[in-house]
Chain A
C-alpha cells in the first residue's frame, strides 16, 4: 500500500502570508520612526549641552546675556518634588489597592472607587495643576503662593491612580491559597496582609511604583500652576523651585541659541533619568521572576 503525500501549501496562502508579514513589519517600522527620530534629535541637540562645563554643577543664571549657567537646581528640584510626591502617593496608593483587594472586593463601594480611579487616569495632567492652583495657591495656603510642596501634591495626585491600578493588579496575582494558608494558621487579617501578601507582591509593587515615578518626573503642566520656577538652588519646600520640565518649557523658545541648547540638554537629561528608572523596574521584575 503506497502512502499518499500530504497536501502541499497553496501558492495563494504562501503569498498571503508574505503580504501580511510584510505589512505588519512595515507598520512596526512606521511606529518606531518617530521614536527613533526623537531620540536622535535629543542626542544630536542635547549632547553638546552635556559637554558644557558646569552643566550639571551650576545653577541657571536666568539672564539673557552672558553665561546661561547650568541646570543643577532644576535637576535637584525635580528630584525633590518627585520624591515628595512619591512619599505621598505610594503609601496611599498601595493602601487603597489593599483595601480594594482584601476588604472591599466586589462591594458596590469598592467598584465605585475603582471606577473613579480609572477616570482619574484619564484626567489631563493640567487639571491636577489647576485644581491645586485653585485650592492651595490662590489662597496662599501655608503662607506661600507657588511652592514646591504644592507641586508635589499635584504630581502625587497624578501618580496615585497609576500606583493604585498597578498595585491592585499585582495584589490580585497573589494566589488566594496563600491567604487561606495564613488565615488557617490563625493569623489575624492585618498580619496576613503585612507578612504574606505584601512580601509576596513586593517586587511587583516596586515595579509599578517605579513606573509611576518615571511618569511623575516628566509632567510639566501641573508644575506650571503650582511651583512656577526659580533659578537659584533651594531646598525649601515652601517656595518656588526650579524643575526640569519647566526649564525646558521656558528655555526652548528663547531666541538665543545657547539657551535653546540648554533646553535640549535638559530634555536629554530628563529622558535619561526616565530611562534609568524604567530599566530599574525591568531589572527588579526579572529578578523576582527568576527567584
Chain B
C-alpha cells in the first residue's frame, strides 16, 4: 500500500496560464451585477483636451463612467483630475481664458454640441464642492429649494421635495425642527450634506464630487462616504479625491491620472492590490506624490 500523498489537492485558482516575472494582464474578478442598472446614466469622456490659456492641462483623456457606479479620480496635485470633472458639467469654461475640446456624452447626449444650453447640462450633472458652500442669506429649507428657484423650475410640492432630499442625505432628523434657521449655522459635515441635498433636489442624473470630504473631520468624512454609497443606487457618481484610502473605500473603479493623462483605469480592488502600471504602484504605495 502506498502512503497517500500528503500534498494538497491541485486546484488551479488563477485565470492566467502561469506566473511570469513581468506583470501579466489580469481579467478583473468582480462579477458584474446582472444588468440591473438599466435606469442609470453613463458618462463618456473621449479625447478630451482642456486648456488654461496656453497651458495644456488635460491631454487626450478618455474615460468611461459606468451608470450607477462610483468612479474615483486619484492622482497628485496638478494631475488634472479636478479639471476633467469640471469639463463634464462645463464649469471649466467659466474660468476666464479656459477652454475644452473633445467629446463628452451623457448617455447619447453630446454635452458640447453647439447651441447646447449650458444651464440645462448643469441641471443634469450636479456638483458638490470641496468647501461646503450653502447660501448664507438662505435658511436650510431655502437652501435645499435653491436649486429649483434658481433654475426657475416649478415644483408641485416643494415641501415634500425638500423633505425627501434632506432624508436621502440623512439630515432630516437633525434639522427638521429648524428648517428656517440659516444654512450656515450647521456644522461643517452637516453643511456639506446640505449642499448634497441641494444638488439632489434638482434631480440630476450624475453627481460630480470634487474632494467632498477633504475639509471635514473624520466622522463627517465617513458619513459622507456612506452617503455616496447609498446615492449610487440612484445616480452615477464621480468623485475626485486626494485621499487614496477614501477612493479605496468608496469607489467601484478608480482612475489614476498624472500630468493631465490617464495612466490607469481599473477596478478599485485591482488598483490597490495589483496595479498594472509601475507609476500607479509607486503613487499608491506612497513612493511619490
Residues of A within 8 A of B (CB): 105-106, 175, 177-178, 180-188, 191-192, 195-196, 199-200, 202, 291
Contacts and interface: CB of A to CB of B under 8 A. Distances in A.
Nearest to B120: A186
Contacts of A183: 91, 94, 122
A187 B129 contact: no
A200 B91 CA distance: 22
B195 A191 contact: no
Nearest to B94: A183
A185 B129 contact: no
B91 A184 contact: yes
Contact of A291 (B126, B150, B151, B182): B182
23 contacts: A105-B96, A175-B133, A177-B129, A177-B131, A177-B133, A178-B135, A178-B136, A181-B135, A181-B198, A182-B146, A184-B89, A185-B122, A185-B147, A185-B150, A185-B151, A185-B199, A185-B202, A186-B119, A186-B147, A187-B151, A195-B146, A196-B150, A200-B136
Contacts of A175: 133
Interface string B80-95: 0000000001010010
B123 interface: yes
Contacts, number: 70
Interface string B258-278: 000000000000000000000
A187 B89 contact: no
Contacts of B202: 185-186
Contacts of A192: 150
B29 interface: no
A188 B119 contact: yes
B120 A178 contact: no
Given A185-B146, A186-B122, A200-B135, 4 more contacts: A177-B129, A181-B198, A182-B146, A202-B137
Contacts of B182: 291
B239 interface: no
Given A105-B96, A195-B150, A181 B120 contact: no
B178 interface: no
B235 to A, nearest CB: 15
A289 to B, nearest CB: 12
